[in-house]
């Protein structure tokens, strides 16, 4: 099966399009401070299970789309989970899931970012569902590929 | 924590119960690094060290009945700092797998059953799926720069096949557009299968390896049937 087909990750595909000039991006569309959340599965767990965590790739893509973004601290292997993974968005333990996010939210607030970029459906769902409770109504939560699509020069 | 664990007869502890597990749980030195690093420590009395100790002590019923393995997100922050390299996240997933399927919390197992029976977690019929995709494609085609945009369903020999997250054909159809716009701009030759398109494998969360295998095989089947060259499975 691995000989029969190729497999592409969201990161590698976006990077390939950008590097080969198949898509062109405008870095001036978003005049806000942004930050990036490392999802557990693309980052730490990919590193631990498969020997490669996708840490540099999304950050390179962010650099192509934004003038202003800062990392959360801690990040990469020491990243803090958002609380929306492992099926917690749909297992009914909502109070626990919302409380879980408190440390992540502190990290985001510390950056003052108005936009949070994530490459994971679970993280995206979690942040949008909890931002109100934590007083971050105005935080724009964006998929990494949504950011790329928003910056496309056609 | 379920009430049953409050009355544990210590004489009946069976330390050998999980001996066959390959996760090194018995090497725990109770240092507490896991508990200190875990963002879920303290929720409902949970912390990863307690959970690992319960397994080492053989408290099978208590650990399987507990809410703890479902509060944990299996993020592996604990595992990353564990000096004994105990596979804590996989351990949690395997505790989850021991739950009676009917007692799996929330809609997770219902989604797995739906996916096995219908090819997607929502039981969304094929006609409705196609209708939604084409409707969203028409909206994109109305935007400047995307004139003539079309969604390529079941396109044979395409370069890339992409799976779909069920929420994108349910409550979040707007979010279908991002990748599609990128494909269009990049001149990609892409396709979406009309059946077995589900990218979300909830068996990953419920510890159901059989279900995961079946859903992965179905995507493999679509790749073969449509003779697609590359798979993008963004979920």
Q: Which residues of B41-75 are buried (b: 16+ CB within 10 A; e: fewer)?
A: bebeebbbbbbbebbbbbbeebbbbbbbbbbbbbb
pLDDT score, position B8: 66
pLDDT score, position B10: 75
pLDDT score, position B9: 72
Looking at the predicted complex, does its ipTM rise above 0.85? yes
What number is the average pLDDT over the span B144-158? 97
Chains A–B, number of C-beta pairs less than 8 Å apart:
144
Q: Could you give the C-alpha distances from B192 to A22, B116, B180, B189, B222, in angstroms and in order?
A: 21, 19, 10, 11, 10
- Residues A72, A143: Cα–Cα separation, whole Å: 17
Residue B12 has pLDDT above 80, yes or no: no
Number of other residues whose CB lies within 10 A of the CB of residue A132: 10
For tokens 């997933």, what's the residue? B93
Residue B165 has pLDDT above 80, yes or no: yes
- Residues A141, A69: Cα–Cα separation, whole Å: 14
CB contact, 8 Å: A100 with chain B?
yes
Helix (H) / strand (E) containing B81: helix B77-81
Q: What is the pLDDT of residues A73-92, one digit of tens each?
A: 999 999 999 999 999 999 99
Q: What is the pLDDT of residues B36-51, one digit of tens each?
A: 999 999 999 999 999 9
DSSP letter for A76, please: G
Ranges of residues in chain A with a pLDDT under 50 are none
Question: CB-CB: which of A1, A23, A83 is closest to B220?
Answer: A1
Q: What is the pLDDT of residues B125-146, one digit of tens each?
A: 999 999 999 999 999 999 999 9
For B179, the token pair is 């990748």
CB contact, 8 Å: A58 with chain B?
no
Phi and psi at B165, nearest 5°, equal: -75, 130
pLDDT score, position B1: 47
pLDDT band at B234 (very low <50, low <70, confident <90, very high): confident
DSSP letter for A109, please: H
Q: What is the pLDDT of residues B168-187, one digit of tens each?
A: 999 999 999 999 999 999 99
> What is the dihedral sign for C-alpha B108, B112, B118, B121?
positive
Boundaries of every domain in chain A: 10-150
- The verdict on a CB contact (< 8 Å) between B105 and A92 is yes
What number is the average pLDDT over the span B59-76? 96
What number is the average pLDDT over the span B21-31? 96
Boundaries of every domain in chain B: 3-99, 124-232
Residue of B48, B108, B111 whose CA lies nearest to B77 = B48
What number is the average pLDDT over the span B116-131? 98
Q: Give the class (CATH, top level) of B3-99.
A: mainly alpha
């Amino acid at each position: 099966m691995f000989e029969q087909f190729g497999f592409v990750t969201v990161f590698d595909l976006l990077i390939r399009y950008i590097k080969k000039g198949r898509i062109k991006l405008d870095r001036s569309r978003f005049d806000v401070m942004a930050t990036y959340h490392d999802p557990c599965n693309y980052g730490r767990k990919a590193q631990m299970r498969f020997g490669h965590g996708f840490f540099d790739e999304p950050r390179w893509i962010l650099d192509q789309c934004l003038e202003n973004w800062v990392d959360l601290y801690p990040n990469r292997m020491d990243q803090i989970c958002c609380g929306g993974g492992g099926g917690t968005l749909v297992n009914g333990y909502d109070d626990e899931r919302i409380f879980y996010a408190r440390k992540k939210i502190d990290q985001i607030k510390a950056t003052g970012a108005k936009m949070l970029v994530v490459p994971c459906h679970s993280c995206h769902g979690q942040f949008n569902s909890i931002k109100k409770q934590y007083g971050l109504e105005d935080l724009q939560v964006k998929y990494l590929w949504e950011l790329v699509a928003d910056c496309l020069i056609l | 924590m379920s009430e049953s664990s409050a009355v544990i007869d210590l004489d009946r502890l069976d330390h050998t119960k999980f001996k066959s597990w390959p996760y090194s749980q018995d090497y725990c030195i109770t240092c507490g690094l896991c508990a200190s690093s875990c963002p879920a420590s303290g929720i409902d009395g949970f912390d990863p060290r307690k959970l690992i100790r319960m397994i080492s002590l053989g408290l099978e019923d208590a650990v399987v009945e507990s809410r703890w393995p479902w509060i944990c997100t299996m993020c592996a922050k604990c595992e990353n700092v564990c000096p004994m390299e105990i596979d804590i996240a996989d351990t949690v997933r395997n505790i989850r797998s021991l739950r009676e399927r009917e007692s799996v919390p929330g809609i997770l197992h219902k989604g797995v059953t739906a996916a096995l029976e219908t090819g997607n977690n929502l039981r969304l019929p094929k006609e409705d799926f196609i209708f939604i995709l084409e409707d969203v494609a028409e909206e994109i085609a109305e935007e400047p720069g995307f004139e003539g945009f079309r969604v390529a369903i079941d396109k044979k020999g395409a370069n890339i096949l992409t799976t779909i997250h069920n929420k994108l054909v349910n409550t979040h159809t707007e979010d279908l557009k991002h990748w599609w716009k990128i494909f269009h701009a990049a001149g990609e030759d892409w396709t979406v299968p009309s059946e077995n398109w589900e990218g979300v494998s909830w068996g990953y969360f419920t510890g159901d390896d059989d279900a995961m295998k079946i859903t992965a095989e179905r995507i493999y089947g679509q790749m073969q049937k449509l003779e697609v060259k590359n798979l993008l499975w963004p979920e």
